[in-house]
């Protein structure tokens, strides 16, 4: 969740992010990879706070969700797992001919040996059977009640924080001004794709705006994936399904909702990995500083001979 709509500043403030800016040229910052570029206020305080709340909430929801998944490490389509149809995804363990326990992952009927990673993992030098390994779950070993408590608590934190972000985005016109693609954006999709594949990143004034791929990514994440994962999570609650009966069937049933919840969660993980990669390759310190203090040094355009 980024906000590039803040007021440009000609030079860095002497101390805190909220200090007054000078009219002198920006001093080179050798650690940013963008020495001599214009420094400006990129992220508003509400966006920065909600961004870091999301980082914590989504991380703990993922770890606790994987622990919940380990209580029954298989996914199905339909209303019930007792329909007789095999799971489309299953993580488990089996005893090999040599007597050793081997971990496996079965996807759409294709089985892969994943010993040491999924199904069977090593903890403190000992092998143990568990879907996802202990270092990737919260709690580390099977404790369904505690995992559900962690998951539901941070799910509510995430939901309230997300609603606050959507309200701020619409109310501040950040959505209409910065996130909604314009006609020039749409005409430049091909060029933007090529620039990303060639690791060409925006500089100068262009670095102050989202490119079209960023806009589409943020819109899909904020208004499609995140609401969908929340909705599917609610669909897994028998109490809510009883209170508002029938709507889960629109998605194929409770097991389908569980599968969609799982798929969307890993889609969000993929988005975060790409996001972090882009943060690193475009200047880790510069990007991190902008999300902590709000101030971002604009990369200068390269001079071609």
Note whether 176 and 127 are same-domain residues.
no
Q: Are residues 116 and 178 in the same domain?
A: no
Q: What is the pLDDT of residue 236?
A: 87
Strand-pair category, 119-123 with 39-41: unpaired
Chain mean pLDDT for the chain: 83
Percentage of the chain surpassing pLDDT 90?
A: 50
pLDDT at 25 over 70: no
**pLDDT at site 82:** 72
Token representation of residue 124: 């403190």
What percent of the chain stands above pLDDT 70? 85
Question: How sure is the predictor about 31, in pLDDT bands with cuts at 50, 70 and 90?
Answer: very low
**206 and 269, same domain (yes or no):** yes
Q: How confident is the model at residue 301 (pLDDT cuts 50, 70, 90)?
A: low
Mean pLDDT for 235-255 is 80
> Exposed, middle or buried by CB within 10 Å (0-12, 13-18, 19+), for 284?
middle
In the chain, the number of structural domains is: 2
- 127 and 200, same domain (yes or no): no
pLDDT the model gives residue 36 = 53
Residue 55 maps to a domain: no
pLDDT in tens, 42-73: 888 999 999 999 999 999 999 999 999 999 99
Same domain, 176 and 293: yes
Residues 183 and 122 in one domain: no
The answer on 200 and 94 residing in a single domain is no
Q: Which domain holds residue 84?
A: 74-131
Confidence of residue 153 (pLDDT cuts 50, 70, 90): very high
Identify whether 166 is part of a domain: no
Q: Residue by residue, what is the 3-state secondary structure of 96-140?
A: CCCCCEEEEEEECCEEEECCCCCEEEEECCEEEEECCCHHHCCCC
Query: Is 91 within a domain?
Result: yes
211 versus 66: which is more confidently predicted? 66
To the question of pTM greater than 0.85 for the whole model, the response is no
């Amino acid at each position: 969740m980024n906000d590039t709509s803040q007021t440009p500043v000609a030079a860095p403030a002497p101390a805190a992010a909220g200090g007054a800016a000078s009219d002198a040229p920006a001093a080179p910052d050798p650690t940013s990879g963008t020495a001599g570029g214009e420094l400006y206020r990129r992220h508003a305080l509400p966006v920065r706070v909600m961004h870091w709340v999301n980082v914590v909430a989504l991380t703990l929801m993922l770890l606790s969700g994987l622990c919940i998944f380990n209580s029954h490490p298989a996914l199905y389509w339909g209303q019930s797992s007792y329909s007789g149809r095999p799971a489309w995804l299953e993580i488990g363990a089996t005893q090999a001919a040599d007597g050793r326990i081997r971990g496996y992952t079965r996807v759409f009927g294709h089985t892969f040996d994943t010993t040491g990673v999924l199904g069977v993992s090593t903890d403190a030098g000992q092998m143990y059977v568990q879907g996802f390994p202990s270092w990737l779950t919260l709690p580390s070993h099977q404790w369904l009640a505690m995992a559900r408590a962690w998951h539901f608590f941070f799910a509510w934190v995430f939901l309230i924080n997300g609603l606050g972000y959507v309200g701020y985005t619409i109310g501040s016109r950040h959505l209409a001004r910065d996130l909604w693609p314009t006609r020039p954006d749409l005409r430049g999709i091909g060029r933007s794709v090529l620039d990303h594949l060639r690791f060409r990143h925006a500089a100068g004034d262009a670095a102050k705006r989202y490119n079209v791929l960023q806009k589409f990514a943020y819109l899909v994440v904020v208004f499609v994936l995140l609401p969908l994962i929340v909705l599917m999570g609610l669909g897994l609650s028998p109490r809510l399904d009883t209170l508002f009966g029938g709507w889960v069937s629109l998605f194929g049933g409770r097991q389908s909702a569980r599968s969609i919840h799982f798929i969307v969660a890993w889609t969000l993980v993929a988005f975060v990995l790409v996001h972090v990669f882009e943060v690193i390759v475009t200047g880790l310190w510069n990007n991190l500083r902008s999300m902590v203090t709000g101030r971002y040094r604009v990369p200068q355009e390269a001079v071609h001979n």
